[in-house]
Amino acid sequence: MNTPLSLRAAAILGTLLFAGLAASDNEFPTFQPGLWSFTSTVNLKGANKPQVRTVRKCTNPTADIKKKWDMLASQSCKFSPMTHDGNRYSYGSFCEKNGLILQSKSSIIVESSSAYRVETDSRTNNQAQKEIIEAKRLGECAKKEGV
C-alpha cells in the first residue's frame, strides 16, 4: 500500500531542494535579501489533490541555501554537478539516512534576482512526488522597533 511521505521525509525533500542549489558557487544565481513569499505545491503519486502551502519570511535566499548545503553535505548527501542553460539551473541529489533513501532531480528557473521557480521530482523508497516552489520577493523587511 502506498502511503504519503511522512512529514520528516517531506522536510528532508524541502531542504534538499534548496540545498542542491549551492552545489557550485560559480553557477549559482544570486537572489536579493528581503521579504519573500514561497508557495509550495506538492503532488504525491496516488493523492487526490495537491498539498499547497505558502510561507512569507524575511530572508536572504542565497545565504540560506548555502547554509543548508553545508549541513546536508556533512550528512553524506551527494549532488550531481549543476548544469546551467539560459535561466535554468539543473542538478540531481541522493541522500541516505536511517534507512530512508531520497533521490531527486531539480530545475531552478530564474526570472530575476527577486523571483524564481523550482521544480523537483523526488523518490523516497517507494513513494514519488513532484514539488513546485514559486518564490517571489515582496519588498524590504519591516524594520524592528528600537533598531
117-127 per-position pLDDT tens digit = 999 999 988 88
Q: Domain for residue 89, yes or no?
A: yes
Q: Domain for residue 2, yes or no?
A: no
Lowest-pLDDT choice from 9-23, 35-49, 94-108: 9-23
As for how many domains the chain has, the answer is 1
Q: Domain for residue 56, yes or no?
A: yes
Mean pLDDT of 59-65: 87
The pLDDT score that the predictor gives to residue 27 is: 63
Q: Domain for residue 112, yes or no?
A: yes
Q: Domain for residue 126, yes or no?
A: yes
Element housing 100 (H / E): strand 100-112
Q: Domain for residue 147, yes or no?
A: no
Mean pLDDT of 78-96: 88
Q: Domain for residue 146, yes or no?
A: no
The pLDDT score that the predictor gives to residue 10 is: 42
- Boundaries of domain holding 114: 7-139
Q: Of 139, 132, 134, 124, whose CA–CA distance to 32 is shortest? A: 139
Per the CB < 8 A criterion, the answer to whether 135 and 116 are in contact is yes
Q: Domain for residue 75, yes or no?
A: yes
**Can you say whether the dihedral through the CA atoms of 140, 62, 40, 57 is positive or negative?**
negative
The reported pTM is: 0.76
